[in-house]
A and B are shown apart, each in its own frame.
Chain A
Amino acid sequence: MLFRRIAIRNFRKHLSPVVIDELGEGVTVIAGDNEEGKSTLLDAIRTGLFERHNLGGKAADTMQPFGSTVRPEVRIDFEVDGSLYSITKGFIQKASARLTTPAGTFEGAAAEERLAELLTFRLSQRGESKPDDRGILGLFWLEQGRVLDGLGLGETGRSTLRGSLEDEVGNVLGGTRGRKLLEAARAQRDALLTSTGRPRGDLSAANDEAEKATARVSELEAERAEYDQEIDHLTQVRRDLAQISHDRVLEKAEEALSKAESEARSIALLNQRHEAAEQAVALTKAQLDNATDHSDRRQALIQAVEGRERDLIDKRDAHTRLSDEASPIADRQQAAEIEMMAKTEARETAETRVVVAQGRSRIESLDKQIAELHRKISEIEKLASQRKADQDRIAQIVIDQRGYEKLQTLESDIRAAKAALGAVATRVRFAPTGGQRVKRNGMELTTGDTVQVTDRSHFELDGFGEIDIEPGTSELADRRARLKKAEDALDKGLTGVGMADIAAAKIQLEQRTSLDAQVKEAKRLIDALAPEGAEALATVLGEQKAERSRLSDTTSALMLADTADPETESRVLTAAKDAEKEARAALDLAQKEHQEHVIQLTVAVTALEAAAEAVTTAKADLQKARDDASDAELTTKLESAKDALTKAQNTHAESTKRLNAANPEEVELRRERAQSTLATVDAERRQLREEQIGLQSRLTALGKNGISELLEEARGRETRTLARRDRLQRDAAAWNRLVSTLVDAERDAKEAFLEPVLKRVDPFLRLLFPDARVTLNEETLEITGVVRGGCEEPYPLLSIGTREQLSILVRLAFAVYLREKGFPAAVILDDALVYADDDRFERMQLALRKAAETVQVLILTCRPRDWREFGAPIRRLGDGKTKKFGPLQ
């Protein structure tokens, strides 16, 4: 489609006609300032094309210029496939529509229906047209602010586009029916399988059920096997019992036992006889033992008497030997005692001599110490006396170092006052030529000297007369007063310390310093002589004197004239002590020997007495025994017992022989075997009977519930659940196969369906977004996102600018595609690209230029300068106002 001329009149803002004509192929820019009526122009075009001429109501009222009641008119001349068409509509008053076509002119509704058919839009049945009705023109009609909402294809536009795509690639998608089927299949599959293909829902339950049923069968089969085994066991038990009964095993064992027991009884009799013989042997043996014992005891008594008599002789000899040793031992003890006494005395004498020698030595030492103490005390007393005299003298001297320094300060003040006074004094020098005398205030001056006059002075000059000088400087009085004050202060200070002048004070101070030094020296000497004080010296002296007196008394009392020095005496004492110790040891030895001898003698006496007693007792015992039975009687008894034993032993040998001949061991073995057999068979029979009872009771319990019925039921259930599981598994696999096949087919279909349009989009997209690919919803054909670097970015999340540009680019591609397919496409942009930066704006212009190679592009803008370098013709709205609307035919 190619717009050639657009004319409006009495349409809203444009009361006067506005005509945009000579519109050519490619891009045309229509420029107008804000409020100049660009959007009104667009509305007028839309109204002219899509609205019914007899539109009424509010929609119609909005066409009227404000405050007017006129007839809004729109005329659009355009070309389709090289043929020229013109649609002219007048609204509200004398509403009319006329379409001029190469085939003729159509009026009113017919004109509008023809136009809708030509431009692929749908006439509104009632009221204003809707975006959905506007067909592909609506698709490429980009008004301000609308581009961001996606493509907004509208039903008729989408239908045309889809129709075109289906014409090209066929109906590969299958529409909602296909999707419904896929969703239903997916729901069926998802009811049986999880997303990872694991069983769920009925399939999972069927698996569990089958597993349980199989487990139940195993359990019952085990029970059944046990039941059958128990029956087999019971059969065996019964057979064994019958066998025992049939073979008469028990009876045979009883007979064997009976026979063995009879034989055993005969052997028992032999045994009794044998035991009696054994007892007889034992009895005679005991009697022999008794006689032998008596005989042995008699011999023992005789030997005892003889042995004890020998012992008595030995004891007597020992006693005699000890008695002989007593006297020499006593003598040795006595000699040791005497020696001991002598040595003790010598040691005591030596001790006394040591005491005396030590006392005398100490007295000598004390005498020397006492003399030294006396000397020190005398010295201290002398020093103390001198020190006292010096301290007294110090007390009389008033001046001290501080006082003296104070006086020196006062004197210094006087000198300063004098100097200050002198500085302002009137200096007078007398130089009498003839050597005349000069007196000042009556006192003669040395001529030639300069005299300072600080107060009123009276001079008498010989040969001249008298002169009174009164210095007139005002400061003199103050300085004089200062001097006076200083002098008074010194006088007062001297008077305070009783000094005539400062020199006397100095002498006094030096005396004081000297005396202080003497006092300190005396103190130091006293401290050296008596560090702990003079009283301590006196105390020590007293103590030493007392000790000496005591020692003197002691040594005198011992009356020993010639003692040697203490060391010598001590050595003598040590020797005396050693000698005493040796004597003591000798005495101890002698005393021990004596004591031991006494003990031995006592023991020997006791032993002698005991031996004598023993002899007496043994003899008495022997005599007593002989009184009971003589030695000859005992011998007779012994011989008789030996004969009896021989007889009994012979009888015993005979009975043993007979017993052995009866073979009691064999009989006993037979009896034991018979008993054992009987017990075993009986136990076996009892056990079998018990087993039989137990088995019957177990079988009764097991059979109660009917294992066979339960098992068959369980097997049936297992078969059914396994079949159901298998069927559901097959179903799940089939649903899964169906869904995956349909999903793959759908994916392939989508790709195939959109391929033609995406092929057109790509070149446009590359201008702005190299390496990007747009994705579209195959149903709505809306942009769903952009794939960049392998990642899909959803459309709503893209930036405003990108969304705007993408939306325009895709529309341009659609327009090119439809135009190529012969549809009447044209693109109108109303102040679009407001979000593009300079670079993008420039690239978008390239895209528009590229699109304009195929479709007409009308750009309405309030910024014509942005398009100046674009190279497209720019039409100004203002220019259009001067043109003629053209006749409404």
Chain B
Amino acid sequence: MSTNFGCSCVPLYPTCSEKEGFEDLSVRFLHTADLQIGKGFGQLPSEISVVLRNARLETLKKIAVLARERRVDAVLVAGDCFDDIAVGDETLRRFKVALEPFGGTWVLLPGNHDPATAESPWSRLKRLTLPENVIVADEPIPIALGDKAMILPAPLKRRRDAADLTEWFDTAETDDHLIRIGLAHGSVREFLPEASEAANPVAMDRDIRARLDYLALGDWHGKLQVTDRTWYAGTPEPDRFRANEPGYILNVAIDAPGAKPTIEPVAVAEYRWMEQTRDIMPGGTDDVSQGLDIPAAELSRLIVRLELQGTIDLSTRAALDEALGDLRARVQYLEVDDAGLVVEPTEDDLDMIDTTGFVRTGMERLREQLNGPDAETARRALALLYGLHHQTGG
């Protein structure tokens, strides 16, 4: 079945080119996705999670300001504006406010995190009354962007859909002079790593089959080019320890139907997330802060996770704790996973606490237990004793 969605569509908002008063067939827009407003970051301490929650709204505002400054025709959000369908009213209101700096067209596509179910952030936003420039693309119906482009959305109505919802793009008829822009949220399976979602598939050659000038995709959180015309924008504000280039939006310019789009990635992220694995050697604690390779001024915007491994003595452990404490004070948040770090008290460690007396005897007994069934408790007991020794004046 094919449908002609020609110029009968009424432009929702005057484009910048019209305002300037001369004929211009090009279209410029910002492509972003996976804002996941309302994401809780519950695994982090509450004071950090509040900061990160607010950061996502701030980044959205930043995008709105950027759109205004660059005078684009529209901002396309390719799914997952919200982290969940059950975000609160306050979050919805703050989202609305964040859009305000840009008075041009916003096209918001429901994704797998915020599908257009019977009750969803979209139905609720509509009840809150959205301004006219904000379009919720919750139906697979073309949306005209002025008289220059037609946006073909593939909204998700449930979290996981086995069908390729972009298929209808192939048969959607538009006037020849219109630039065809696809807007979808899903997984280009043959292109993305295996860890990506199996549901909500998007055919890799959809841009060709549907004669799209550009296919704006969401779901993959890193900036990623699939084809000349198909891009994942990635999340503009990183939300996890994954080095796949998050933190960008794409500034897209298409001069005319069939013209190759020009893509300019623009970094907008407020915070940077970093994960590193470190091998700790006895006495080697200096490496902890040096290995980050980040300018000191930017440390405060760093969310860092260190996975420590190796076998160290008690004195190194104490020095390491000291170094980690120092680093923690410099970054926004530091998470340490030291499950792979084995502390083996050495003779020197024990000598430092006591060389004779019953304490020494006790330490020796604990050390003997390190090979027993409850070695961890004994190891911890020794570390505590070591700490106590320092606290009580060594």
Contact = CB atoms under 8 A, between A and B. Distances in A.
Interface of A: 170-175, 177-178, 180-182, 184-185, 188, 224, 227, 230-232, 234-235, 237-238, 695-696, 699-700, 702-717, 719-720, 730-731, 733-735, 737-738, 741-742, 744-746, 748-750
Interface stretch (B35-43, B200-208, B284-292, B301-309): B35-43
B380 A731 contact: yes
B354 A745 contact: no
B117 to A, nearest CB: 5
Contact of A730 (B360, B377, B391): B377
Contacts of A738: 362, 366, 381-382, 384-385
B88 A704 contact: yes
Contacts of A230: 119
Contact of B389 (A181, A234, A730, A734): A181
B85 A717 contact: no
Interface residues of B, number: 51
Contact of B358 (A695, A730, A749): A749
A188 B38 CA distance: 41
B377 A737 contact: yes
Interface stretch (B44-52, B131-139, B230-238, B271-279): B44-52
B8 interface: no
Contacts of A185: 384-385, 388
B163 interface: no
Contact of B38 (A181, A699, A706): A706
B357 A749 contact: yes
B86 A227 contact: yes
B83 interface: yes
A734 B358 contact: no
B49 A713 contact: yes
A708 B41 CA distance: 11
B88 A709 contact: yes
Contacts of A730: 376-377, 380
A748 B364 CA distance: 14
A442 B38 CA distance: 183
B90 interface: yes
Contacts of B378: 734, 737
B326 interface: no
A703 B118 CA distance: 13
Contact of A709 (B91, B358, B381): B91
B64 to A, nearest CB: 22
A719 B357 CA distance: 42
A709 B362 contact: no
A182 to B, nearest CB: 7
B118 to A, nearest CB: 4
Given A184-B388, A715-B42, A734-B384, A745 B88 contact: no
B118 A177 contact: no
14 contacts: A172-B358, A173-B357, A181-B354, A181-B385, A185-B385, A230-B119, A700-B119, A703-B88, A711-B40, A717-B46, A737-B380, A738-B366, A741-B365, A741-B381
A172 B361 contact: yes
Interface in B36-81: 38-46, 49
B89 interface: yes
A704 B87 CA distance: 8
B129 interface: no
Nearest to A185: B388
A716 B365 contact: no
Nearest to B354: A174
Nearest to A233: B118
Interface of B: 38-46, 49, 83-91, 117-120, 124, 127, 353-354, 356-362, 365-366, 369, 374, 376-378, 380-385, 388-389, 391-392
B89 A703 contact: yes
Grouping DSSP codes into helix (H, G, I), strand (E, B) and loop, the A interface class, with mixed when no group exceeds half, is helix
A686 to B, nearest CB: 19
The 5 closest A-B pairs by CB, nearest first: A174-B357, A716-B42, A706-B88, A712-B40, A708-B84
B86 A703 contact: yes
Given A182-B359, A188-B388, A735-B384, A708 B42 contact: no
A218 B42 CA distance: 15
Contact of B359 (A181, A696, A713, A717): A181
A180 B392 CA distance: 8
B45 A720 contact: yes
A744 B369 CA distance: 15
Contacts of B353: 181
Given A709-B84, A737-B369, A746-B358, 10 more contacts: A188-B388, A227-B86, A702-B86, A703-B86, A717-B42, A717-B46, A737-B377, A737-B380, A742-B359, A748-B361
Contact of A719 (B43, B366, B374, B389): B43
Contacts of B120: 231
A171 B46 CA distance: 51
A118 B384 CA distance: 46
Nearest to A714: B42
Contact of A741 (B85, B87, B356, B366): B366
Contacts of B83: 708-709, 712
Nearest to A189: B384
B94 to A, nearest CB: 11
A733 B377 contact: yes
B89 A709 contact: no
- The residue among A175, A231, A696 with the most chain B CB atoms within 10 A of its own CB is A231
- The residue among A227, A702, A709 with the most chain B CB atoms within 10 A of its own CB is A709
B83 to A, nearest CB: 7
B357 A177 contact: yes
Contacts of B383: 734
B89 A704 contact: yes
Contacts of A695: 118-119
Given A704-B88, A709-B91, A172 B356 contact: yes
Contact of B354 (A177, A703, A706): A177
B359 A745 contact: yes
Contact of A178 (B87, B127, B358): B358
Contacts of A182: 359
Contact of A171 (B39, B356, B365, B380): B356
A717 B382 CA distance: 30
Contacts of A184: 388, 391-392
A746 B359 CA distance: 7
B381 A706 contact: no
Contacts of B380: 730-731, 733-734, 737
Contacts of B357: 171-175, 177-178, 749
A58 B38 CA distance: 89
- The residue among B119, B365, B384 with the most chain A CB atoms within 10 A of its own CB is B119
A231 B117 contact: yes
A235 B118 contact: yes
Contacts of B118: 231-232, 234-235, 237-238, 695
A735 B366 CA distance: 12
A748 B358 contact: yes
Contacts of B374: 737
Contacts of B45: 720
A806 B365 CA distance: 37
Nearest to A234: B118
A709 B49 CA distance: 11
Contacts of A746: 358, 362
A231 B385 contact: no
B43 A706 contact: no
A737 B381 contact: yes
A706 B42 contact: no
A685 B227 CA distance: 49
B303 to A, nearest CB: 14
Contact of B44 (A700, A716, A748, A749): A716
B156 to A, nearest CB: 14
B54 to A, nearest CB: 13
Contact of A703 (B124, B356, B376): B124
Contact of B87 (A706, A714, A737): A706
Contacts of A235: 117-118
A185 B358 CA distance: 14
A237 B117 CA distance: 13
